[in-house]
Amino acid sequence: MKAAFYTKYGAARDVLTIGELPDPQPGAGAVRVRVRFSGINPSDCNRRLGIRDRPGYPLIIPHSDGAGEIDAVGEGVSRSRIGEKVWIWNAQRGRPFGTAAEYVALPSRQAVRLPDGATLEDGACFGVPAMTAYYSLFDDGALEGKDVLVTGGAGAVGFYAVQFARLAGARTLVATVSSDEKARMAEKAGAPVVVNYKIEDVARRIMEATDGRGIDHISEVDFGGNLKTTLAVMKVGCAIGAYASKGAPEPALPFYPLLFSNVVVRFIQCYAMPDDVRLPAHRDLTRWCEDGKLEHPPARILPLANVAEAHELVEEGKVIGKVMLRV
């Protein structure tokens, strides 16, 4: 099979190679997926750089997200799954071989039936972005009737988080963005209140939008960078689902203000998402897709041969939506 891979850590153009590798075969309880689209996330780039973790495998095919069709099954998996269109999660988590290849073999449960009405391109967005959005919102209970803040409402995660919060019945829903173009994305996702943090007083706008109540729950893309605003708008019992902290990678926690407000800070890593959150996420995602209630992030699609360029686009952070490879 044709695949993108690396055998050492470093810059995309220095270490990523396109070549031929043996076709994988599904073992017991596994399926093989003919990959059509391979989704790229910042975590894939960080792993390639070796700045978050170094798995130590001699050869790594990157990317955890993807979508395609099951073309072979291992012992214990029903042959009725052959031909099924699926989306993939955690393909390269704890394993050397991800989705940047014509085929990937992985446990059957990690290839989820693609919902009716969703394209394969959409499916390549579901793994990290959609599951991170869901985990950041729902691990501390239902959102119905609550005041919710989604920071980074135009990002691949935030775009889903805005929709999930709206569909779950949030009373007030505020999204923050950094440009007019991103504001239009957040509005497309259904955020009734969109705040440009570059030019507006975010805390003041949030308090106005909530009639002075403040925020019950935050889906947080920059925990440290946004902490000052969080302290100004959080209610007693506020829950924060934080999945990144680029603005302040090692934030100093104001312990007592958080303590006196009974704040829950939950650090979200979708690769370690527990089944009691993941399985409802799969069900809700399928239901919302099949009911025609979900929009999906726009995709910037490059051929497999351009994998290094695709990684650079993700690292630059200038693409609104999802970067993926057509395999």
Question: Chain-wide mean pLDDT for the chain?
Answer: 96
Residue 56 pLDDT > 90:
no
Residue in the block written with tokens 């979200």: 268
| Lookup: tokens for 300 | 């910037």
**Mean pLDDT value across residues 281-299:** 96
**pLDDT band for position 53 (50/70/90)?**
confident
**pLDDT band for position 318 (50/70/90)?**
confident
Q: Is 62 exposed, middle or buried (0-12, 13-18, 19+ CB in 10 A)?
A: buried
| Residue 296 near residue 157 (C-beta atoms within 8 A) | no
CA 273/CA 191 separation, integer angstroms: 26
CA 103/CA 191 separation, integer angstroms: 38
189-218 residue pLDDT tens: 999 999 999 999 999 999 999 999 999 999
Q: What is the pTM of this model?
A: 0.96
Note the pLDDT of residue 91: 97
Q: Is 191 exposed, middle or buried (0-12, 13-18, 19+ CB in 10 A)?
A: buried
